[in-house]
Amino acid sequence: MTRIAYLTSQYPATSHTFIRREVEALRRAGVDIATFSIRQPSLGERSAPENREAFETTTYIQPPRLIAALRAHLACLLQHPLRYARTLVDALRHRVPGISATLYSFIYFAEAIVLANAVRQQRITHLHNHFANAAAIVGYLATRFLGIEHSLTLHGISEFDYPAGLLLREKLKHARFVACASHFCRAQALRSTDPDDWSKMMIVRCGIDTER
């Protein structure tokens, strides 16, 4: 049975209500979803009644727990040393130019290995990112390390402008499919990748429950 991980930069979040509703709807439809987030929400967001359960059932990468992170890296290094080294190389390559971006590559690599270890422990077989941002870099690297499927939802212009846009082509090539929130997003995604990958791009609207 397919078990899916949803990864975002912050979950739950007031500005990500549509992601929470999407997760809830998929779960009601019988899809097995585990939620992951790079950062924890603020106290106000996590204590909101509609977000409380989402916060309590989400696995967080930050703030870092040093001992747990070291154990995750050691486990991944010992079990798959070549993959570990290759993922570090991938992190250093999958970046924009500059010293700052190089330093962030090591951070994203460190987070990706912690994520990969948690995803493996929870027997995840597919990871889905909302937004092609820094969290998508972490998701991309983690799935490269694990050899599992990866997919994206694209939402707006920030994902096609610098810096995210410069790294989008490789993510789209790696993805099993790409959900585009609008015709505009799909058109920009087609511009960002090879024709061989165009069949992956599909329009999936962010719907709302009109009864509410």
Distance between CA atoms of residues 104 and 120, nearest Å: 24
Instruction: Name every residue whose Cβ is closer than 8 Å to that of residue 114 and which is 6 or more positions away in sequence.
Output: 61, 64, 68, 69, 72, 73
Say which amino acid occupies 191: R
In this structure, what token pair is assigned to residue 140?
Answer: 């991309």
* Order of strands, sheet of 32-39, starting from the edge strand that comes earlier in the sequence: 58-60, 32-39, 3-10, 126-130, 149-154, 178-180, 201-203
Global pTM reads 0.94
> Which of helix, strand or coil describes residue 67?
helix
For every one of its 212 residues, what pLDDT tens digit does the chain have, with 9 covering 90 and above?
Answer: 689 999 999 999 988 899 999 999 999 999 999 999 999 999 989 888 889 999 999 999 998 889 999 999 999 999 999 999 999 999 999 999 999 999 999 999 999 999 999 999 999 999 999 999 999 999 999 999 999 999 999 999 999 999 999 999 999 999 999 999 999 999 999 999 999 999 999 999 988 888 87
Helix or strand run (H / E) with residue 104: helix 99-121
- The CA dihedral of 90, 93, 99, 102, to the nearest 10 degrees, is -10
